[in-house]
Structure 1
Amino acid sequence: MTTRIIAIETPSLGDRTYLAHDGEVAFVVDPQRDIDRVLDAAAAAGVRITHVFETHIHNDYVTGGYALAQETGALYHVNADDAVSFERTPIRDGDVVEVSPELRVRAMHTPGHTFTHLSYVLEGAEPAVFSGGSLLFGSTGRPDLLGENHTHDLARHQYSSARRLAAELSDETRVMPTHGFGSFCAATSAGEDATASTIGQERLINPVLSQDEEDFVADTLAGLDAYPAYYVHMGPANAAGPAAADLSEPERADKEQLRHRLEQGEWLVDLRNRTAFAAGHVPGTFNFGLDGQFSTYLGWLIPWGTPVTLLGESREQVAEAQRELVRIGIDRPAAAATGRPAEWTDAPLATLTTATFADLVQVRHHRSVTILDVRRAGEWRTAHVDGAVHVPIHDIVTRMDDLPEGEIWVHCASGYRASIAASLIAATGRRVVAVDDDFDRSARVAGLAVVPETQPAPA
């Protein structure tokens, strides 16, 4: 029987889980925390999960591997050299696991993303390599997540590992990375729109397989940008063997409870899209819409451990947000409320002014305003509005007091991050406008002077 490989996507984190089966038994590579998706995929295929493989101790999400193995009775393969506090089936470079006669999996040590990273080669007539955070589509996994002291060495390891994969595997071997689909675990954004690749294709397009080592290391290190702050909590959680996610409904909060939570400094997060939020919201609430990288940015900005209350249009919207949060270790919302903002407060609703880059040009003819760019440093260096203040969105909470007095017009690349930042700024009582517009398409056309970085960004 032909081997079938099912990719289970997690677009909000830019990751993939894989279920491979022969029609009877299956193995899983790098499962996310919400293992019900994997169990449903196995049930739909009519197969039994007997083995679970981790490519590495993940830094961008809480694994579901331990919980899945406990639920199914599968063997849980984790590198023998990883320091974990749970029982696992240790595996090392060169070990071969016979999942079934059709599913023969060989471990390859491919350090670079971490020191103990493993790739798993599915051998046979239709070979594939589950490359985790090693060889990605057109890129590699970033080498800096274990700290600055290890970054340079890991970049060199990443180069050697990619070269080993290309040398030992055939051109038709399918490449099955965990990261690289918008994930902050990728060293660069190259190839993030690709949906499939092979070793042969990577030889043609991936810089790690065409550059010499010194150029690759230099370019990789130069291209690294900030990564989400919550990553620091993921490794320890994964080394401890995380339990299955609790996706039961959170406590329902009425108006009085919501007011009390706001007064206590808790985060009340409005899940609606930025247009709905701008039209009317509870004063003091923050807009992290589910139509973007919700969990990434909420996990990045929130002081870790702060209680979160979810405000959504429906129970389904709250449930989706809750699922996103358990993937990054925010296990239980403090409370939730659904419906319309008028049902969440007795106070007058607040609104958020939105505008375009063309509006910004017109306003600057009449009064002085601060242009606040909340994109990441790499985006700023490529091009930015002349005279803008640059505070990356991940610094906005800690640098709120650094923002100039007066009216602030905040923009990002498309409007999603601008709405987040504007909602945080508005909650402090400042006058703020969210630019809901496409920077690359509209800023120059509107007549704004867009320049590359020639000197350090203004504070």
Structure 2
Amino acid sequence: MATIIPIETPSLGDRSYLVHDGATAFVVDPQRDIDRVLDLAEREGVRVAHVFETHIHNDYVTGGLALARAVGAVYHVNGDDDVAFERSPIADGDTVEVSEALRVRAIATPGHTFTHLSYAVEDAGRPVGVFTGGSLLFGATGRPDLLGPDHTHDLVRHQYASARRLADELPDDAQVLPTHGFGSFCSAGTTSGADASTIGTEKGANPALTQPEDAWVADVLAGLDAYPTYYAHMDPANSGGPSAPDLRAPEKADRAAVARALADGEWVVDLRTRTAFSAGHVPGTVNIGVDGQLSTYVGWLMPWGAPLTLLGESPEQVAEAQRELVRIGIDRLEGAASGEPGEWTDAALASVPRATFADLEQVRHHRPVGVLDVRQASEHAEAHLPGATNIPIGDLLERLDDVPAGEIWVHCASGYRAAIAASLLAANGGQVVLVDDDFDDHAGVA
């Protein structure tokens, strides 16, 4: 019987998969840190014989080529993809006999990209699941606009047809096994939040399978919002054939190195929680906690290729951040330090006040303060505080002149993005208060 094991990457909102019959395995859409896959295969006691890519990824650097080379597996990439490395070209309708029991069939499902493939897996001749990549997700589909506006209208129509094809060709009890849709910006629309699904479930709930085409297309296009700027660098990296990452510890940064980096205008990122950062931090540093979508926001905000130094509570926290960053191709670190913020600088530590929406309500009764909402434009349009200025976090550094003058209370949906924004504003001399609260608790703020 086929064993299907998801390999979660929550910080990017993605899943990879290892599938085996007890002896022979295949992997779908591996992340770049392939040691996780190798360790899992060893624990399961299986040999990885095949690696499949559903598409040239936009939100992470693949580990597919490095994994295939490391274990001597066959690497399956769409033959129509323009890549700079040797691969086993695969196309719609092709089948791969992974083992006596496991067979994989490629299904063309354009929409997220033009060359996107899904892979139906059969166990002893019975279809048990389909790896849908960025095609059919849980309650949604992959977004159709990542190849640029010139292609969006064609791709969104393809995406609708692809979802329908999967629903038509696979049995209702077949598992739907997407790569995206667990918080990834590669999703179009809101996913269901489910942890598992089947073709039958999606037939009854997924708008791509329940709505008329024109209505669905209009809804998807209207709901598209900004996505991280680092995505522009992923296609070239993946098409070029990325190597396995170097996860050796970076050079240690002492007080002088941290001071020099800040004086030179380089990025120094504090990986601690927003609570710890707010209580005391090195002036000029940016708080992007490793407890959230670290790589997404470093990749979105930091100029690509800029020098980067990491500050963490422990070597383990720095190593976790380094692993997150190599997944999007940020390989080079100037250095890193661990410990307490007082060990990283000779300057007096800075702090950022934290507050709740209830505190904001009370303050606005007594004095005027600015409110900055750093959520996506679509989130702000759905509900927002009266008088709040909306500058999505990804646009903040380019729109500092649009931030209201004076004391600014910064909020998002839960506090993580607001903490990043508050640290950026504080580093630029702003007077800020971090609203570290759930936006659902904003009722009553006038």
Q: Would you call these one fold, judging by a TM-score over 0.5?
A: yes
Give the residue type in structure 1 aligned to 2:428. T
Which residue in 2 is equivalent to 1:60?
59
Deviation at 1:126, TM superposition (A): 5.2
1:186 is matched with 187
How far apart, in 2, do the equivalents of 1:136 and 1:365 lie? 45
Structure 1 CA distance, aligned partners of 2:425 and 2:401?
A: 10
Q: What secondary structure is seen at the aligned counterpart in 2 of 1:136? A: coil
Q: Counterparts of 1:60 and 1:263 in 2: how far apart (Å)?
A: 32
How many angstroms apart in 1 are the aligned matches of 2:154 and 2:89?
25
Alignment map for 1:4-403 (pairs within 5 Å): 4-123=3-122, 124-125=125-126, 127-191=128-192, 193-403=193-403
User: Amino acid of the residue matched to residue 99 of structure 1?
Assistant: V
- Deviation track 1:280-317 (CA, whole Å, cap 9, x = no partner) reads 00000000011111111111111111111110000000
> Secondary structure of 2:233's partner?
helix
8 Å CA contact retained: 1:182, 1:189? no
Alpha-carbon separation, structure 1, partners of 2:30 and 2:49: 14
Q: SS at 1:119's partner residue?
A: strand
Contact 2:127/2:171, CA 8 A, preserved across alignment: no
The answer as to whether partners of 1:113 and 1:142 remain within 8 angstroms in 2 is yes
Alpha-carbon deviations, 1:252-305, whole Å to 9, x = none?
010001100111111110000000000100000000011111111111111111
Q: Shift of residue 332 of structure 1?
A: 2.3
- Distance in 1 (alpha carbons) for counterparts of 2:18 and 2:79: 23
Q: Name the CA distance, whole Å, in 2 between partners of 1:41 and 1:282.
A: 39
Look up the equivalent residue of 2:55 and give its one-letter code: H
Q: TM-score, normalised to structure 1's length? A: 0.96
Could you say what secondary structure the match of 2:229 adopts?
Answer: coil
For 1:296, give the aligned amino acid: T
Match of 1:448 in 2: 445
| SS of equivalent residue, structure 1 residue 385 | coil
Q: Is the 8 A contact 1:246 1:332 kept in 2?
A: no
Using the TM superposition, give the Cα deviation of residue 362 of structure 1 relative to its aligned residue in structure 2, in angstroms: 1.8
Contact 1:249 1:319 survives alignment (8 Å): yes
RMSD, aligned α-carbons: 0.8
Output the CA distance in 1 between the equivalents of 2:66 and 2:389: 46
Q: How many angstroms apart in 1 are the aligned matches of 2:18 and 2:411?
A: 40
- Stretches of structure 1 that go unaligned for 5 or more consecutive residues are 450-459
Provide, for residues 212-251 of structure 1, a one-character-per-residue CA deviation record: whole Å limited to 9, x for no partner.
1101100110111111111010011000000001100000
* Fraction of identical pairs, as percent: 69
Distance in 2 (CA, whole Å) between partners of 1:172 and 1:316 is 42
Structure 2 portions without partners, runs of 5+: none
Correspondence for 1:453: none
Question: 2:167 is paired with a residue of what secondary structure?
Answer: helix
1:15-63 Cα distance to aligned partner (Å, 9 max, x none):
0000001111110000000000000010001011110000000000000
Offset at residue 366 of structure 1 (A): 2.3
Q: Does the C-alpha gap of structure 1 residues 126 and 4 become closer, same or farther in structure 2, counting only changes over 3 Å?
A: farther
1:367, CA displacement in angstroms? 1.9
Q: Deviations over 1:63-119 (max 9, x none)?
A: 000100110110100000000000000000000111111110010100000000000
Q: Distance in 1 between matches of 2:384 and 2:404?
A: 18
**C-alpha separation between the residues in 1 aligned to 2:397 and 2:330?**
19
Q: Do 1:187 and 1:224's aligned partners in 2 also have CA atoms closer than 8 Å?
A: yes
For 1:398, the aligned partner's letter is E
Instruction: Give the distance between the partners of 2:128 and 2:23, measured in 1 at CA.
Output: 19
Instruction: Measure, in 2, the Cα distance between the counterparts of 1:52 and 1:430.
Output: 49
Contact 2:279 2:351 in 1 (8 A): yes
Q: What is the total number of aligned residue pairs between the two structures? A: 444
Amino acid at match of 1:50: A
Structure 2 Cα separation of the partners of residues 385 and 404 of structure 1: 15
Structure-2 separation of matches of 1:317 and 1:126: 42
Runs of 4+ in 1 over 2 A off after TM superposition: none
The code of the aligned residue for 2:355 comes to A
What letter corresponds to residue 321 of structure 1 in structure 2?
Answer: A
For residues 401 and 305 of structure 1, the distance between their equivalents in structure 2, rounded to whole angstroms, comes to 25
State how far apart, in whole Å, the 1-side matches of 2:26 and 2:442 are.
49
Amino acid at match of 1:329: G
Q: Which amino acid aligns with 1:345?
A: T
Contact 1:322 1:332 in 2 (8 A): no
The whole-number CA distance in structure 2 between the counterparts of 1:199 and 1:366 is 56
Q: Answer whether contact 1:30 1:178 (CA < 8 A) is retained.
A: yes
Which TM-score applies when normalising by structure 2? 0.98
The separation in 2 between residues aligned to 1:78 and 1:159, in whole angstroms, is: 23
